[in-house]
Amino acid sequence: MYRYWDRAKTFLKSRVLHTDDSPHVIALGAAIATFVSILPIMGVQTAVALGLAHMVRANKAICIPTVAITNPITAVPIYGACLRLGRWVMSLVQGGAASVADDGTAVVVPELGFAWKLVHLGREMWIGCTIVGLVCAILGYWVVRWGVIHYRLRRQRRLLLRKAG
């Protein structure tokens, strides 16, 4: 396990932090990958994140480790929370209008078929994942941007001190 983290740290320093890309480009790549990693498209997340990063000229190297946020271990809690959020948002949007008509009389909703229930479940999942993905991407953008700027300033100070000393 230690070797994995050591290799990840080396990759982050050599391929991401020491590139000629601006902090904005690196943070944009991280934000795109974070958003895509939350979407329920496991299996194609890396390809989608790399494609989007290429389209907006964001850093592609940071996309590869970032989409690993959702993996078989973390998928259940992440997607479970997104599904709950999607159900909550859908209940707010519908506001009980499905069970009561405009004139106040009760509306009988026929039993939905299995396929329709899956479509409804998928819609709730996508709504929840989109909301969570956007929030995480926006927060991730600012955290990564700050981190890159801070790292580069600290490294620059160390190099100047080493040169002067």
Instruction: Write the pLDDT tens digit of every residue in 116-153.
Output: 666 667 889 999 999 999 999 999 999 999 999 999 99
Handedness of CA 26, 35, 60, 66 (dihedral sign): positive
Please state the rounded mean pLDDT for residues 4-25.
Answer: 80
Task: Give the pLDDT confidence of 28-48 residue by residue, as tens digits.
Answer: 999 999 999 999 998 899 999
Task: Give the pLDDT confidence of 72-126 residue by residue, as tens digits.
Answer: 899 999 999 999 999 999 888 876 544 444 555 554 555 566 666 666 678 899 9
Its pTM stands at: 0.79
24 sits in the region (left: phi over 0; alpha: psi -120 to 50; else beta) called: alpha
Task: Give the pLDDT confidence of 73-87 residue by residue, as tens digits.
Answer: 999 999 999 999 999
Q: Note the pLDDT of residue 97.
A: 47
Q: Tell me the sheet residues that pair with 54.
A: none
Please state the rounded mean pLDDT for residues 56-82.
Answer: 91
From first CA to last CA, the distance across the chain in angstroms is 37
Q: Note the pLDDT of residue 98.
A: 47
* Structure-block tokens of residue 90: 């859908």
Q: Note the pLDDT of residue 94.
A: 76
* Structure-block tokens of residue 165: 């000393």
Residue 78 backbone dihedrals phi, psi, to 5 degrees = -65, -50
